[in-house]
Amino acid sequence: MPRVTADRERCLGAGQCAYSAPDVFDQDDDGLVTVLDPAPPRHRLASLRQAADLCPSGAVRLEEAAETP
Q: How far is the CB of 67 from other proteins (least distance, A)?
A: 28
Q: Rule CB under 8 A: is residue 34 a binding residue for other proteins? A: no
Q: Rule CB under 8 A: is residue 26 a binding residue for other proteins? A: yes
Q: How far is the CB of 3 from other proteins (least distance, A)?
A: 22
For the chain, give the number of residues.
69
Q: What would the DSSP string read from start to end of 11-56? A: -----HHHHH-TTTEEE-TTS-EEES-SS--GGGHHHHHHHHHH-T
Residues found near other proteins in the complex (CB under 8 A): 12-16, 18-20, 26-27, 29-32, 50, 53-54, 56-58
